[in-house]
Structure 1
């Protein structure tokens, strides 16, 4: 049980990871000074920023080079002051604030603050540079990640890189936003399951949530995009004094790395993209396309549990297990299941199932939890089903994860605006995928979100060196087709896959073949001669 507990906690952390905080004065003043020093180059304002973009939405060669005329070049001159990291117990991890433009088309306007953490390389004599990372989600924090990642990396990788974490714009420490909710949604995701006759209420709730977000954080929403997060990464690079960066990103963070490689190909050193969503399909098409994987993951969980009916008592066939679990979720939808003083809602139980089916090593823990609920006993769930604000970090709204997740998802790509489109999808997907179709196809606040100025970034064959893409063949969270598409679009890339039912396997899954290939790339820069099937 101890092993499955660790697995489930790791999976939850990888996937999910009020008063708005003003940009800290020190970082804002530093940015103002840096911009003022380059006022002549910056005088074109929005026009110069627009000129740095090519017609396909990628940064031009000149902008990617980070010269004096680029936004990163100007903002990279700010002075960094390293100190303790709020809410992080590791004293070796140090943090600083990096000021970036709220709007990259108007770099002389308002600044916001990105909090960056650093864990130094263990051997300064062999240090190669920095290895950036951040949380998944989108909406998961990245500042604490170097401390949790370091013990999992090989000693050779640790010797060569400073591990750099950062909370993306509007996430936790980095100028956080909220939408006025008192608590997070289960899992930190706004999801509603369509039931008979529920669509009018679901639509009204989605519209109300979007309006609440506009009231609370309307100034930020147009600027919450993966492309802007990638631009922030390049400012971080420049502020750290690095010509290039290496990167390790899992799940959504892998997608962020892919977007960076398109926008700033000349700044890419060694990039590892672990189970990335395909940015060309996010987010509506992506959510619909992964519905079959959710159903397949549930079927695998049900078959595994049925073979162990003596242990869990949920049924001796996969169908009986599925009926038992979905029956509990439907029961909780009618009225929460109260056990040991906690009222278990259908959304919480659905989140427990979804997180559980992400990794086959967690099947036993999830089966035991549902078996306990079926018997009226308190289940053992070793993580909060609703993300909690970070302890010791003031000013983070109670619903920050949900708010930022929705902001990035709604801002990154087109969503249908006509509710009738969702009704058609609900009918189609509910028939083919009865377990998850009614939720994945349902309307969301993105149908009513403010329109975003920037066009989504499409991956392109570019001048960056090839990246290494890793994935599990039976990934439920981000189906393997996504990783294959990303690898195909970035010229010269290679893939390393494992035949496993898990998500974001490097390095925590512990596959020696996979970890060895990634470690070799990070330490030598040599990609495999061909794709590797571990």
Structure 2
């Protein structure tokens, strides 16, 4: 079966002339050195008493109850008195001051998703007993939207805010040249920030936020990448952990190249499930009466768009946009019908109903956010957390292996990225288990395509005393929006009482 072309490498042949097997790192002499803070003595963040925070309206958020403030954090946590950047935080107060326990932090996934608006959308989904006990605190991680945003000089976001190129036979030199050019653009536009765009630094920012709020400990709820961020915080600051819920966390030990390769079979399985479901509704969707016919029809439409965008109702659908639409479908079984109908409409030349943007939208009412902010920050964290192969022969080997075994997504997930040319970052992700942190609650769906459940199991195993609650569903980050009463009840009980289940729970 031919691969699904998520984005078409469209670099002229001359652009690849200088590419050789030894991948040269983008010149980053202007970037300051950044030795590993894990090897430095631990430092207590400067305390910013809560009374010093200036709470006001939240830019780009329509909820008047949500109040926002800015917290200054060191750009380089090794130098706490050096240059600072601003982190935006938001707050919805606990509904019962008499029962208030503390703060429950949350932020967006990605990396690259905003967190400031999340308390407003999360609050109605939480049980009243949880809302009574916690101020909900959202924050944009460093370099995202309201928190000193960066860009890589691109005019638009990539579909999904995630840069990916699908390899085709012989395309690796051109793909590498394009990736190297992108890395150079990022250094040119945001070179001052790139050495410090790491999950460990985002976790250190969380601890400054904790101190600024005047809290000795924090509770936390984070899904997907935000779950990984919580695990890293627990490793760095075990004594500051109160009640942590990590929903479908990425395993820090595999971030990011092994993780991308490792979830490729789940992408294929998710597509097979989507195709089989759609085939059963062939009378409605007309994409094929078998799973193979549906997969071929969708792949053919995406390949067609790689040659020339498919214009429907004034919108030119690119291969990357159609690929993002497919991924949205395979991430959650509840989206199968919507995505199948959208592909059927586009194939027939009808305007599809797609209730979400296929490219991230700039936050309304938030000035100064670069046009490619979400893509740039996603790339910066993925490359900064490293390590990534630097040799072209490594990518050739992976492409040959994964394309043969996983023909739909192997050519995309195994392809070279700008991380092969990224400035070398010494602040590697925290890979040691947080043995001194209290146990946390990890939640996951058994048929998660985005973050396969093995990631969640590894994170739980790395924090002794932790428990897992799983739901047998094809979805991602199921708490609380999936609505499973068993799962939601276990999480609500933990956040309310602090008592973990005596054993793992299968809902």
Distance 2:78 2:146 in 1: 24
Distance 1:367 1:126 in 2: 47
Runs of 4+ in 1 over 2 A off after TM superposition: 73-78
Per the alignment, residue 499 of structure 2 pairs with 526
Per the alignment, residue 279 of structure 1 pairs with 252
Query: Which of 376, 383, 399 lines up with 1:410 in the alignment?
Result: 383
1:353 aligns with 2:304: no
Are the counterparts in 2 of residues 247 and 257 from structure 1 also a CA contact under 8 Å? Answer: yes
Distance 1:183 1:456 in 2: 29
Query: Which of 211, 226, 234 lines up with 2:207 in the alignment?
Result: 234
Deviations 1:311-362 (A, max 9, x none): 1011110000001000100111111111111111100000000111100011
Distance 2:305 2:170 in 1: 18
With normalisation by structure 1, the TM-score equals: 0.87
1:90 aligns with 2:74: no
Are the counterparts in 1 of residues 248 and 453 from structure 2 also a CA contact under 8 Å? Answer: yes
Are the counterparts in 2 of residues 76 and 236 from structure 1 also a CA contact under 8 Å? Answer: no
Distance 1:475 1:385 in 2: 21
Are the counterparts in 2 of residues 258 and 273 from structure 1 also a CA contact under 8 Å? Answer: yes
Per the alignment, residue 486 of structure 1 pairs with 459
Per the alignment, residue 113 of structure 2 pairs with 140
Alignment of 1:28-427 (within 5 A): 63=42, 70-74=43-47, 79-427=52-400
Deviations 1:232-270 (A, max 9, x none): 000000000000000000000000000000000000000
Distance 1:77 1:366 in 2: 46
Gap change, CA 1:520 and 1:508, over 3 Å in 2? same
Distance 1:112 1:89 in 2: 25
The SS at the match of 1:323 is helix
Unaligned runs of 5+ in 2: 1-31
Are the counterparts in 1 of residues 197 and 380 from structure 2 also a CA contact under 8 Å? Answer: yes
484-493 vs 414-423, which deviates more? 414-423
Per the alignment, residue 416 of structure 2 pairs with 443
375-384 vs 311-320, which deviates more? 375-384
Distance 1:521 1:278 in 2: 22
The SS at the match of 1:478 is coil
The SS at the match of 1:124 is coil
Distance 2:479 2:106 in 1: 13
Are the counterparts in 2 of residues 250 and 276 from structure 1 also a CA contact under 8 Å? Answer: yes
Distance 1:517 1:100 in 2: 35
Are the counterparts in 2 of residues 71 and 107 from structure 1 also a CA contact under 8 Å? Answer: no
Q: Which has the higher contact order (CA 8 A, sep 6+)?
A: 2
Deviations 1:138-191 (A, max 9, x none): 000000000010011111110110000000000000000001111100000010
Unaligned runs of 5+ in 1: 1-45, 64-69
With normalisation by structure 2, the TM-score equals: 0.92
The SS at the match of 2:252 is coil
The SS at the match of 2:443 is strand
Distance 2:157 2:50 in 1: 37
Distance 1:184 1:487 in 2: 34
Distance 1:213 1:377 in 2: 38
Query: Which of 505, 510, 526 lines up with 2:483 in the alignment?
Result: 510
Distance 1:372 1:530 in 2: 47
Distance 1:187 1:90 in 2: 26
Count the aligned residue pairs. 475
- Superposed CA RMSD in Å reads 1.6
The SS at the match of 2:45 is helix
Per the alignment, residue 466 of structure 1 pairs with 439
